[in-house]
Chain A
């Protein structure tokens, strides 16, 4: 048998629904396989752990060719909210949890949640702005120390 993955660090850098879920699903799935996991949120990915924003993550309806919606139509007011609602209903049927519940669950699996120091400073945020499951705001160097000995996935 090929060598088993023992440890993962997943970086979430996007703040759109389609940018956030893949990393969360991979993190949760890895924990279910007994793999050690740390999640590192950077740039707009910080919205995923932001107390006031993590329940309002939306699908990008403009500049997202995979959605197969014309840019002009995607740019209409309310379009992103409607598409997000449609996708959330589909995910609920597949038993994929909403982001707040998913984050709580992932933290409960023992995965570490960390925020990127540079991005936190850039956006004028502080640790209090994040959900309590976030362990710390860390520098890139500290991230590499935490990630040592494992694989790193950037999303």
Chain B
């Protein structure tokens, strides 16, 4: 299992860099993960999505799809793709320390 070090703490990640244990994640780790995804600064809008990802994961055991994000997170599809050009659900899940959301839509 691969490991990464964020905010001075070493965490386990899968082959694509997603946290294997979301409980190891802390907010202070997010900027470094975001930087790896090419996002130099996390704005309030980024955080709104990241917190929503955490919330959905804790609620349902899986991260939301882009469609659900667009409908419920308070950030529309267009803006989601501007905030996370590498794919909103995928990249936000990684930054939020949760597994990659499953589903085709």
Contact = CB atoms under 8 A, between A and B. Distances in A.
Interface residues of A, number: 15
**Could you tell me the dominant secondary structure of chain B's interface residues?**
helix
Interface string A91-108: 000111100000001001
**Could you say which interface size class chain B belongs to?**
10 to 19
Given A25-B105, A32-B88, A34-B86, A108 B67 contact: no
B81 A110 contact: yes
Interface in A95-144: 95-97, 105, 108-110
Given A25-B105, A96-B105, A32 B87 contact: yes
Given A34-B85, A97-B105, A109-B66, 20 more contacts: A28-B105, A29-B104, A29-B105, A31-B66, A31-B81, A32-B65, A32-B66, A32-B88, A32-B89, A33-B90, A34-B86, A94-B105, A95-B67, A95-B103, A105-B70, A105-B77, A108-B76, A108-B77, A109-B81, A110-B78
Interface of A: 25, 28-29, 31-34, 94-97, 105, 108-110
Interface of B: 65-68, 70, 76-78, 81, 85-91, 103-105
